[in-house]
Amino acid sequence: MLSKTTGLDSYAANFPCEDREALIGFEEVRGGAIFDGHGGWKISDFLSRYIHPTLLKHYSSYRNEATVSQRLTKTLEASFDELETMVTQKLKPPYQVAPDELAYSGSCGIVALVIDDTLVVANTGDSQAVLVSTEKNGSVTSENLCAIHNTTTEEEIADLNERFSGDESILVPN
C-alpha cells in the first residue's frame, strides 16, 4: 500500500525560484509533477500549466491497455512527447521566448502517477524520484525509481551525437 505522505523541497540558493510543480488528479489517477527550470522560469511554468490537460487527453486514448502500468506508461510517454513539441514549436509567441533564449533555457521534469497500488514515474533531465519505505522492523529503505538523463552518461552522449550529428554546439561539458 502506498503511503499518502509526500514532500517537496527546494534549494535555498535557487532564487528567484525557476521551479514549478503541479498536482494531478482525474478519474482514478493521482500524482504530481515537478519541473526544474534551467535558465529561467518560462518553460517550467508552461509545463506545470499544461501537464494536467495533456495527461488527461492521452489517458483517455489508452483505455484498452492490458494493465494499469501499460496505460500509465503510454500516457506519460505520449504526454512528454507532446509537451516537448509544444515547447519547441508553440512556446515562443505566448511566452515571448526569443529563439536564442529558447536554446539556452529549459526544464528537467518528473511526473509520478498512481492508481491504487501501481506507481509509474517518468523523468527527463536530472530529476529523480526516490521511493522511501519503512519496513515492519522500523528500518528505512530507499529505491531510486528512474535514471538520470544528462551528459554525464555515455548513453545520453551517444544519443545526442546520433540525433544531432555534426552539430558541435550540442554537447557542452558539465
pLDDT band at 173 (very low <50, low <70, confident <90, very high): low
pTM above 0.85, yes or no: no
> What does the pLDDT read at residue 172?
58
Mean pLDDT for 65-75 is 95
Mean pLDDT for 134-141 is 94
Mean pLDDT for 35-39 is 85
Backbone dihedral angles phi then psi of residue 141, each to the nearest 5 degrees: -120, 160
Rounded CA separation 48/95 (Å): 14
Q: Burial code of 114-135, b = ≥16 C-beta within 10 A, e = fewer?
A: bbeeebbbbbbbbbebeeeeee
- Domains of the chain, first to last: 20-125 (3.60.40.10), 128-174 (no CATH)
> What does the pLDDT read at residue 55?
97
Mean pLDDT for 37-55 is 90
